Amino acid sequence: MELSGGEIIVESLKCEGVEYLFGYPGGAVLHIYDALYQQKDIQHVLVRHEQGATHAADGYARATGKPGVVLVTSGPGATNAVTGIATAHLDSIPMVVLTGQVPRAFIGSDAFQEVDAVGITRPCVKHNFLVSSIEELAPTIKKAFYVASSGRPGPVVVDIPKDVTAPNIKIPFEYPESVDLRSYNPVLKGHPGQIRKAVDLLVSAKRPMIYTGGGVVISDAAEELTEITRTLGYPITNTLMGLGAYPGTDSQFIGMLGMHGTYEANMAMHECDVLFAVGARFDDRVTGDVEKFCPGAKIIHVDVDPASISKNVKVHIPIVGDVKIVLHEILDTLRQSNQRPDNPSIETWWARIRKWQADDCLSYDRASKLIKPQQVIESLWEVTGGDAYVTSDVGQHQMWAAQFYKFDKPRRWINSGGLGTMGFGLPAALGVQLAHPDAQVACITGEASILMCIQELSTCLQYDTPIKVINLNNRYMGMVRQWQEFQYDGRYSHSYVDAIPDFVKLTESFGHVGMLIEKPADVEPALKEAFALRDKLVFMDFVTDQTENVYPMIEAGKGHHEMRLAPARELA
């Protein structure tokens, strides 16, 4: 079969089992678009901005574990995609981004819509390629999918000059069956000696903590994690990226940790003697001041990326390997040995943790006459039976979503944790809903974030994605306002969102349903009504208490044991 470059791309994507291609056309990719037009297997999703394409592909990838795929044109198409590529990079999300490039003969001449896409994206991809001949197309796409989805996943950019895709130049097509990359061989199995040491240390613990992150979700190791945690009977905390990998409603789960984690999770981190870190990277939002981090703990760290180990915090027992495989190995070793946890010590430890829990650090004023954002998330959890896919934007609403929606399953909580990209939520929800057409999908957002990719409401109409947008409208860039309140004596410099649109009208003009909710008593009925509209996108504009802050909080330079609690709590 002789195919043109454009056709080779399309056929290669089919060979990779790609269902959706999120894209936006332009001069440099027109040959590829022509090839797409002539087939039916891959559904192209026409976004309204290339940033939306990358976030939608990213949401699809997070919800399914399969790589998200993007096609954009050269120049501005590529630069618009960069924010989404960087977002996926920091959260280790598998993604393949095909960017058009000017014809080979024009590269370097400042041609129309030329940017050095490989150069611009280099620091925010796992790897990238410039395809220099039609013969290289299929092998490069094969490599791109392999690199993107193996080891520690990440985005891979393939930059394709227009002339390589020309319809009149054809070569025989054969998609490679395997990839041979001598320079890239991720280690997947843990070192047996290290695993034995880890088990010895785990069972010897008197005040153990299990701290897990996005790596558990990415490696599909929720089951293994749950089994180990239950077998040991130890307390577990998740990072923002790791929520759902262990059931959020389980009694061994003591909440998220870090800057806006629970008091009990952070206190337990501070006092633990053995820390079992799995698929987590000791991010600064998690550790607080590293000098004060887990002062008395021996640390075991499992991660597929050797560079994550001892990067921010020195660990005692590093185990490089795929989280799922290593957890299996640890479970096996644990079962085969006759070592068991020190139950009396663990009981004492739990008693201490229960005391911290009794402080109820997430409590808020339930009698308020204004809608409290926490109430909206709690109601959302109830109305959706705790089983929705929830995407979010960035800000206070994101933290409340993480604190109050108790995720019992992995891949349900989809947010930009690493880069913190406002504008992520809506297009991500689009990708999630396409991946799971029958699932309930909610996008929790703020009135500032939502405006960063609001144009994707149009895409949502075109592809019938009945997302429920939960806009926690506090008429502030709330997270910025909160920092200004705490650190700048309430000088609210440019954090007020002025001239906010009428979201109901705006939504309606996009062809969707809009709702305005202003009273606490209306929150739950409105949510029920919205979710009953199963085939409609509903934008719910909740007018919330402007002054509400996210508590508890670890401020800059503080340790886990120095949390700032809600003011009412400090009085009590």
Q: Could you say whether residue 88 binds ligand TPP (CB under 6 A)?
A: no
Q: Which of 2, 112, 462, 508 is catalytic?
A: 112
Q: Could you say whether residue 105 binds another protein (CB under 8 A)?
A: no
DSSP per-residue letters across 79-141: HHHHHHHHHHHHTT--EEEEEEE--GGGTTTT-TT---HHHHHGGGSSEEEE--SHHHHHHHH
What is the H or E stretch that residue 217 is in? helix 214-218
Q: How far apart are CA 124 and CA 102, in angstroms?
A: 22
Find the angle CA(457)-CA(158)-CA(116) to the nearest 5 degrees: 90
Specify the residue, 120 or 216, whose C-beta has the smaller distance to ligand TPP.
120
Taking a C-beta distance cutoff of 8 angstroms, is the pair 558, 288 a contact? yes
Q: Could you say whether residue 472 binds ligand TPP (CB under 6 A)?
A: yes
**Binding test (CB under 6 A) with ligand TPP, winner from 227, 420, 496, 558:** 420
**Binding test (CB under 6 A) with ligand TPP, winner from 448, 526, 537, 538:** 448
Residues 377-406 that bind ligand TPP (CB under 6 A): 393-397
Number of residues forming the site for another protein (CB under 8 A): 20
CB of 488 to another protein, least distance (A): 28
Q: How far apart are CA 352 and CA 68, in angstroms?
A: 44
Question: How many other C-beta atoms lie within 10 A of the C-beta of residue 34?
Answer: 16
Cα Rg of the chain (Å, integer): 24
Specify the residue, 140 or 421, whose C-beta has the smaller distance to ligand TPP.
421
CB of 543 to another protein, least distance (A): 43
Taking a C-beta distance cutoff of 8 angstroms, is the pair 199, 339 a contact? yes
Written as six digits, the tokens of 302 are 């499992």
The one of ligand TPP, another protein, Mg ion, none whose footprint includes residue 310, by CB under 5 to 8 A per kind, is another protein
The one of ligand TPP, another protein, Mg ion, none whose footprint includes residue 556, by CB under 5 to 8 A per kind, is none
Q: Could you say whether residue 422 binds ligand TPP (CB under 6 A)?
A: yes
Q: What are phi and psi of 542, to 5 degrees?
A: -90, 120
Among this protein's residues, is 484 annotated catalytic?
no
Taking a C-beta distance cutoff of 8 angstroms, is the pair 159, 101 a contact? yes
Amino acid at 287: T
The one of Mg ion, ligand TPP, another protein, none whose footprint includes residue 480, by CB under 5 to 8 A per kind, is ligand TPP
284's torsion region: left (phi>0), alpha (psi -120 to 50) or beta?
alpha
Written as six digits, the tokens of 287 are 């550790």
**What character string, x for contact with another protein (CB under 8 A) and - otherwise, covers 134-163?**
-------------x----------------
Per residue, what are the HEC states of 484-548? HHHHCCCCCCCCECCCCCCHHHHHHHCCCEEEEECCHHHHHHHHHHHHHCCCCCEEEEEEECCCC
CB of 377 to ligand TPP, least distance (A): 11
Binding segment for another protein (CB under 8 A), chosen from 5-13, 302-310, 530-538, 554-562, is 302-310
Among this protein's residues, is 112 annotated catalytic?
yes
Binding segment for another protein (CB under 8 A), chosen from 121-129, 163-171, 366-374, 476-484, is 121-129
Q: Could you say whether residue 192 binds another protein (CB under 8 A)?
A: no
Binding segment for another protein (CB under 8 A), chosen from 94-102, 117-125, 342-350, 530-538, is 117-125
Pairing of strands 441-446, 389-392: parallel
Residues that bind another protein (CB under 8 A): 118-119, 122-123, 126-128, 130, 147, 181-184, 305-307, 309-311, 314
Residues that bind Mg ion (CB under 5 A): 446-447, 474, 478
Residues that bind ligand TPP (CB under 6 A): 393-397, 420-422, 446-449, 472, 474, 476-480
User: Which residue numbers are catalytic?
Assistant: 50, 112-113, 162, 479
